[in-house]
Amino acid sequence: MPASPLVAPAADRPWVGNLTIRALRHAEQEIGIEFVLRGDSPMSSWVRRVRPGDPAGIFDLGTMYRLPRHARGRPLVGDETALPAILSILDSDPNPPPTEVIVEVVNAADVRSVLMPTGLHSHCLSRDVESVRPGIRALEAVRSAESPEGPVHTWVAGESRLATGTRRHLVNDRGVPRRDVCVHGYWRLGRSTPG
């Protein structure tokens, strides 16, 4: 195996998925990770079968969220798969700018209380019926929200249509500069994904 498994031939390459670290416990040499079990994706299957002592590797990709200096606010939008990353973003900033959080989850029982720092407005929406496409309620909330004042940097993650639909709305309908909308399509409905 080469020094970097990511350049190995596909047949020899280990399965790799991106996860958000929620807690570093240095004394215990542990990390805390949250994720959503979703169908039979490779990540969900691995989580169901992994046991203490099983090998796993870590590639530190660093922090994937940085608020640009010009931004005076930050809408954070996602579905249940983005909640760990949103919470990590909130945890990492002791002096947050005005923040609007829109999170869509599967059902009302999944709604969890989040410690809200000053300046944070949180909207937790539930689908509650299987016929509602994931991301639709969050996208509707983005479309009906008032445009924030001043330059903001919007971060969106979750089902790919939520991510691209939010960017399309903000850029095309509201005139937000494309550089101020950061999207991550974590998964695609009806399609097996690596994670």
- For the chain, the structural domain boundaries read 5-49, 74-187
182/71 Cα distance (integer angstroms)? 13
Instruction: Write the single-letter amino acid at 32.
Output: G
**Alpha-helical regions (H) of the chain:** 42-49, 83-91, 136-144, 160-168
SS3 15: coil
pLDDT band of residue 2 (cuts 50, 70, 90) is very low
Residue type, 131: S
10 Å Cβ neighbour count for 56?
7
pLDDT at 195: 41
Q: What is the pLDDT of residue 175?
A: 93
Look at 48 and 14; give whichever has higher pLDDT: 48
Q: What is the overall mean pLDDT for the chain? A: 83
Q: Would you state the pLDDT for residue 3?
A: 53
* Contact criterion met (CB below 8 Å) for 52 and 30: no
**What would the mean pLDDT of 171-189 be, rounded to a whole number?**
92
* CATH assignment, 74-187: 3.40.50.80
Does pLDDT of 115 surpass 60?
no
| pLDDT band for position 154 (cuts 50, 70, 90) | very high
Distance CA 103, CA 127 (A): 11
Does position 173 have pLDDT exceeding 80, yes or no? yes
The answer to whether residue 194 scores a pLDDT higher than 50 is no
Residue 112 has a pLDDT of 62
Note the pTM of the prediction, 2 decimals. Answer: 0.82
In this predicted structure, the answer to whether residue 98 has a pLDDT above a threshold of 80 is yes
Which of 8-17, 46-55, 154-163 is predicted most confidently?
154-163
> Does 1 score more than 60 pLDDT?
no
Instruction: Give percent above pLDDT 90 in the chain.
Output: 31
Strand 154-159, strand 74-79: pairing: parallel
pLDDT band at 129 (very low <50, low <70, confident <90, very high): confident
Strands (E), the chain: 20-25, 30-34, 74-79, 99-105, 120-126, 154-159, 181-187
